[in-house]
Amino acid sequence: MLTGQITSAILGIAIAGAILFLVRRDHLHGPYALWWLSVAAATFVLGVFPGTVGWLGRVSGISYAPVLPIIVAVALILLRLLKLDIDRSRQERRVRRLTQKLAILERELARLGGTPVPDDDGDDS
Amino acid sequence: MSTVFRTIAVPVAPPRLVAFNPPPLQAAHCLAVIPARNESASVGAVVAGVRATLGCAVLVVDDASDDATAARAAAAGATVLRLPLGLGAWGATQTGIRYARRHGYAGVIALDADGQHLPATLPALFEAQARSGASVVIGTCLERLSRAKRLAWWYLRTLTGLKLLDLTSGLRLYDGRAMDILAAPEASLLDYQDIGVLMLLARNGLPVEETPVAMRERCNGHSRVFASWLVVARYMLHTTVLCIAQLDAGRRSGRLRHAVRTAC
């Protein structure tokens, strides 16, 4: 019969394995893998050492300790989402500047090279 | 060592306030930048008007239009840049500013393609620039603002501390200093060309001057920024957040300019 500890330990190892597999197959970018491996490690630790939850509960003053992993998990998800938005903003800035540069360079190309090839494949946006 | 350096008593005058007055912008050295999206009906006339009045180079930035805007602009004698993705009025204007810097223009005069800004009023901007030495001159027309807009502007003015009256006028003359700041990546994520741009200029201590000019009612269609109440609400909310993040932008500019002047 599986106890909660064993389930959590298996889960942690499984997540770590999946992440490493994704990195090996180049589906997941390296720096993001570190984040997910930490998630896997935390799952493993909290599972194998259930006393940790109780200790964290006492230290943080949260009366119902088992809700602590859930709170921490939600906080980490929110942080991750925030990081996603920050990254997306950065990408948006880069895309805009590239678009501008492209238009300027196309013009220079036209000026230098005579008649340009008409751009009617229509798949830019 | 003490023989090398001797203390000499020299009467030093207290630092004088030196006004930094750059040479006035000549229209011939500037580039007229006209961002345009689906304005084929009016862009030709605007380009012809600018060329006739100022005699400067004209650049039309076609913001991914579906119609013949680019063709009409080219036919009227403008250089045309075509953006493959729509970036909005500010994105297109910034493209023009980057182009101007790349090609060594001394300044950029930005105006709309819909005929609202009259080419005959452009020399007034250059006169105001020569008079005041400001980095940016905005052509204002307060009569065109509705009651609701005036209220909104008052609200935004109070929030930012910007002392300007017409916050969304697209008729502007930018000099080299302003071009340097507005071509930078810092200015690339501004979604509306008014408040964000003005606050960025204020943060950098650039003097901005306003001069009243005549404007015509829009030839075709209504304002894109204020197309519906929902859009207005989103605009006000978005701008409020931006302003709260930089509450002292307008006030900082006054202090910075004072500091710069006394330092010279």
pLDDT at A40 over 70: yes
Low-confidence ranges of chain B (pLDDT < 50): 1-2, 16-19, 220, 256-264
The answer to whether position A60 is within a domain reads: no
Residue B251 pLDDT: 58
ipTM of the complex: 0.74
Domains and CATH numbers, chain B: 27-263 (3.90.550.10)
Chain A closest CA to B2's CA: distance in Å? Answer: 56
Q: What is the pLDDT of residues A5-37, one digit of tens each?
A: 788 888 888 888 888 888 888 788 777 788 888
The answer to whether position A86 is within a domain reads: yes
Is B189 within 8 Å of chain A by CB?
yes
Is B105 buried (19+), middle (13-18) or exposed (0-12) by CB count in 10 A? buried
Chain A residues within an 8 Å CB radius of B94: 100
For an interface test with A, give the residue of B58, B61, B83, B242 to mutate (most A CBs within 10 A).
B83
Residue B163 pLDDT: 82
Residue B263 pLDDT: 39
The answer to whether position A95 is within a domain reads: yes
The answer to whether position A121 is within a domain reads: no
The answer to whether position A87 is within a domain reads: yes
B188 contacts: CB under 8 Å, gap ≥ 6: A93, A96, A97, B91, B94
Provide the domain limits for residue A44. 1-49
Say whether both A6 and A44 belong to one domain.
yes
Say whether both A42 and A70 belong to one domain.
no
Say whether both A2 and A45 belong to one domain.
yes
Residue A30 pLDDT: 72
Say whether both A42 and A71 belong to one domain.
no
Chain A closest CA to B79's CA: distance in Å? Answer: 9
Is A107 buried (19+), middle (13-18) or exposed (0-12) by CB count in 10 A? middle
Residue B261 pLDDT: 42
CA B223 – CA B79 distance, rounded (Å): 26
The answer to whether position A124 is within a domain reads: no
Q: What is the mean pLDDT of residues A47-56?
A: 79
Residue B90 pLDDT: 93
Q: What is the pLDDT of residues B110-153, one digit of tens each?
A: 999 998 999 999 999 999 999 988 999 999 888 777 777 788 88
CA B50 – CA B77 distance, rounded (Å): 10
CA B215 – CA B192 distance, rounded (Å): 21
pTM: 0.76
Return the DSSP state at B194. S
The answer to whether position A55 is within a domain reads: no
Of A89, A103, A125, the CB nearest to B95: A103
Is B98 within 8 Å of chain A by CB?
yes
Residue A96 to residue B64, Cβ atoms within 8 A: no
Note whether B60 and B36 are within 8 A (CB). Answer: yes
Residue B44 pLDDT: 94
Say whether both A40 and A73 belong to one domain.
no
Greater confidence, A3 or A101? A101
Nearest residue of chain A to residue B188 (CA atoms): A93
Say whether both A36 and A73 belong to one domain.
no
Say whether both A14 and A40 belong to one domain.
yes
Say whether both A45 and A70 belong to one domain.
no
The answer to whether position A122 is within a domain reads: no
Is B203 buried (19+), middle (13-18) or exposed (0-12) by CB count in 10 A? middle
Say whether both A107 and A82 belong to one domain.
yes
Residue B80 to residue A107, Cβ atoms within 8 A: yes
Q: What is the pLDDT of residues A62-101, one digit of tens each?
A: 777 778 778 878 888 898 898 898 889 889 999 999 999 9
CA B122 – CA B53 distance, rounded (Å): 8
Residue B262 pLDDT: 41
Of B79, B94, B189, the CB nearest to A100: B94
Residue A93 to residue B189, Cβ atoms within 8 A: yes
Note whether B64 and B86 are within 8 A (CB). Answer: yes
Say whether both A10 and A39 belong to one domain.
yes
Q: What is the pLDDT of residues B202-233, one digit of tens each?
A: 889 899 999 988 888 765 455 555 666 777 77
Domain count within chain A: 2
Residue B260 pLDDT: 42
Residue B8 pLDDT: 62
